[in-house]
Amino acid sequence: MNADVVIAGAGPNGLMLACELSLAGVRTLVLERLPERTRENRANGLVGQVVRMLDRRGLYERLTGSQDPPRPAPGFVFGALPIDLSVLDDNPLYLLSVPQLRIEQMLEERAVQLHVEIRRGHELTGFTQDAGGVTVQAGGPAGPYTIETRYLVGADGGHSIVRKLAGIAFPGVTTDATIARTAHAVVPAELVDPATGRLDVPGYGSIPPFLHHRTERGLFVYAPLPGAPAPLISTMEWNGQDAEGPLTLAELRASARRVLGVDIAFGPPDGQGPHLMRKLNGGNTRLAERFRDGRVLLVGDAAHVHSAIGGPGLNLGLQDAVNLGWKLAADVRGTAPAGLLDTYESERHPVAERVVMSSRAQSALIAPGSEVTGLRALFTELLGDPRNVRRIADLMSGADVRYDVGVDHPLAGRWAPDLDLKDGVRLAELTRDGRPHLIDFTGGDWGHPATAALPGSGVPCTALLVRPDGYVAWASDVPQPDAESRASLRTAIQRWLG
């Protein structure tokens, strides 16, 4: 074997999976057709549980430079409708404003530290598989060659070659009804409120920063992202006319005029860039029929594509990678219990279906027309109820994800709550090794090594088993370990850890 696992694609999802596999001692090779990291920034931040997941691998600190844990956001948007998250006692929605370029750079640096081999300028061209492994055909600067591997993972995006060669159907819909235009652009300083960052547009009114701003003619976004060469200006129109050729600032300015009804005299940014100038016609919503074909698996956009509204893409894809990593590693090492690898699809496919549903709902809420304006008025009323705010926040963050782990307990199958452990260690620090952990509040003997948690955390359990991906595989309420609770723990360990 040339590698235990070959990953096609060195985007964030492929690199995250490579890091997870290497943490578990699996030899991993990443093939990337681009000779160097792309200079095009496809996303501007992270939304949801992925922020806390990165904290539990020590990667949040690498991105922020801060040793403080992440904090939930005071507000966000759903379908361009503002959500006041301050009404929630336990706000689950976390945000991290960081360019995707920086995320990819950080993940590549971490992968190299973990001895992952990354071959840039090398492209997967084909593969065959049998019961024992996969033979990958690849091409590089020196010509074609083959690689023998146990498993192949497609992290090669929405046009995935791996998915196509595996014959995995990618059903969904393609629409050409929208034109989205985005560019770095400088707005006149007198239009920006220095106290709030809002854009005060003469003849129109105030536009808050970072949030989708919908009119009956389209969508407008003003995002002065920290560290960016200039604010991002973005518009979306429905059934609009597309000027031929690449996007220009004049075309973007004309689009903003149509959406808002007034002109904003923005101009080009200073410096060398890279400066974003992107136009997208239409969009795709598709979900792979299955995430696995024998020894070939899919993660991220190779498995699902959808609208970017609400920022769910990296939240979904990176957690695909973390869910798959420990399971695939256990299979490679020969320690996986029967059926463990099958749970990657059974757990992540429904999550992807839910994200597709959410993105479609939000796309409907930002569409033009007076009927949608009426629908938005109703949703605004509904979002005045904290119970509905909770449901939307859980949906957008992924906090409502619950896997079927075969244990009847309120915490079972859910994201493990943040805990303070002995010696001042946080659970997020303990889990940076990518291993499972048994957390104990009782001081009793569970028959397996456990880490003591500080009492008074408010967590409704006396012990819990945390899977490597941060989800609870087992939990108990008994005040002290007894024969029944120890047997229940043994069953969970055998089911998930072998």
Structure tokens at 62: 């690498």
Residues 91, 105 within the same domain? yes
Q: Which residues contact 236 (CB under 8 A, 6 or more apart)?
A: 178, 179, 180, 181, 218, 219, 366
Residues 71, 160 within the same domain? yes
CB 465 within 8 A of CB 475: yes
Residues 82-98 pLDDT 10s? 999 999 999 999 999 88
Query: Given a cut of 70, is residue 338 above it in pLDDT?
Result: yes
Residue 403 located in a structural domain: no
Position 276 confidence tier, pLDDT thresholds 50, 70, 90: confident
Residues 298, 264 within the same domain? no
Residue 277 sits in a domain whose CATH number is 3.30.70.2450
pLDDT average, residue stretch 248-258: 93
Distances (CA, A) of 103 to 98, 211, 301: 7, 22, 16
What is the side-by-side order of every strand in the sheet holding 304-305? Answer: 213-215, 218-223, 232-238, 172-184, 277-287, 304-305
Domain end position, chosen among 222, 251, 282 = 282
The pLDDT score that the predictor gives to residue 45 is 84
Residues 20, 101 within the same domain? yes
Residues 273, 290 within the same domain? no
Q: Which of 20-24, 168-172, 215-219, 301-305 has the lowest mean pLDDT?
A: 215-219
Query: Given a cut of 70, is residue 297 above it in pLDDT?
Result: yes
Position 457 confidence tier, pLDDT thresholds 50, 70, 90: low
Residues 25-39 pLDDT 10s? 999 999 999 998 877
Query: Given a cut of 90, is residue 273 above it in pLDDT?
Result: no
Query: Given a cut of 80, is residue 458 above it in pLDDT?
Result: no
% pLDDT > 90, the chain: 79
Domain ranges, residue 485: 414-497
CB 61 within 8 A of CB 149: no
% pLDDT > 70, the chain: 99
For the chain, give the longest Cα–Cα distance: 73
Domain end position, chosen among 236, 260, 282 = 282
Most confident among 224-228, 282-286, 380-384 (mean pLDDT)? 380-384
Query: Given a cut of 80, is residue 58 above it in pLDDT?
Result: yes
CB 182 within 8 A of CB 212: no
CB 80 within 8 A of CB 212: yes
d(CA 89, CA 111): 37
Structure tokens at 187: 């707005």
Query: Given a cut of 80, is residue 40 above it in pLDDT?
Result: no
Residues 16, 133 within the same domain? yes
3-state secondary structure of 344: helix
The pLDDT score that the predictor gives to residue 41 is 65
Q: Can you count the helices (H) and strands (E) in the chain? A: 12, 24
The pLDDT score that the predictor gives to residue 202 is 93
CB 134 within 8 A of CB 128: yes
With tokens 């196509």, the residue in question is 164
User: Domain tally for the chain?
Assistant: 3
Residue 342 located in a structural domain: yes
Residue 407 located in a structural domain: no
Domain end position, chosen among 267, 282, 297 = 282
pLDDT average, residue stretch 282-305: 95
The pLDDT score that the predictor gives to residue 37 is 85
The pLDDT score that the predictor gives to residue 244 is 80
Helix axes 12-23, 100-113, angle to 10 degrees: 30
The pLDDT score that the predictor gives to residue 351 is 97
pLDDT average, residue stretch 123-141: 97
d(CA 238, CA 277): 19
Residues 384, 430 within the same domain? no
Residue 113 located in a structural domain: yes
What backbone torsions phi and psi does residue 3 show, to the nearest 5 degrees? Answer: -160, 150
Residues 178, 166 within the same domain? no
The pLDDT score that the predictor gives to residue 233 is 93
Percent composition of the chain: helix, strand, coil (DSSP 3-state, to 5): 35, 25, 40
Q: Which residues contact 66 (CB under 8 A, 6 or more apart)?
A: none
Residue 462 sits in a domain whose CATH number is 3.40.30.120
Structure tokens at 39: 């200079």
Q: Which of 41-50, 58-67, 167-176 has the lowest mean pLDDT?
A: 41-50
3-state secondary structure of 131: coil
Residue 405 located in a structural domain: no
Q: Which residues contact 195 (CB under 8 A, 6 or more apart)?
A: none
Residues 31, 151 within the same domain? yes
Residue 406 located in a structural domain: no
Q: What is the model's pTM?
A: 0.94
d(CA 470, CA 60): 15
Residues 383-441 pLDDT 10s? 999 999 999 999 999 999 999 999 999 999 999 999 889 888 999 999 999 999 999 99
Whether the bond into 410 is cis, omega within 30 of 0: no
Residues 65, 180 within the same domain? no
The pLDDT score that the predictor gives to residue 456 is 65
Residues 125, 241 within the same domain? no
Residues 249, 313 within the same domain? no
Query: Given a cut of 90, is residue 305 above it in pLDDT?
Result: yes
pLDDT average, residue stretch 305-322: 90
Query: Given a cut of 80, is residue 163 above it in pLDDT?
Result: yes
Query: Given a cut of 80, is residue 249 above it in pLDDT?
Result: yes
What backbone torsions phi and psi does residue 137 show, to the nearest 5 degrees? Answer: -95, 130
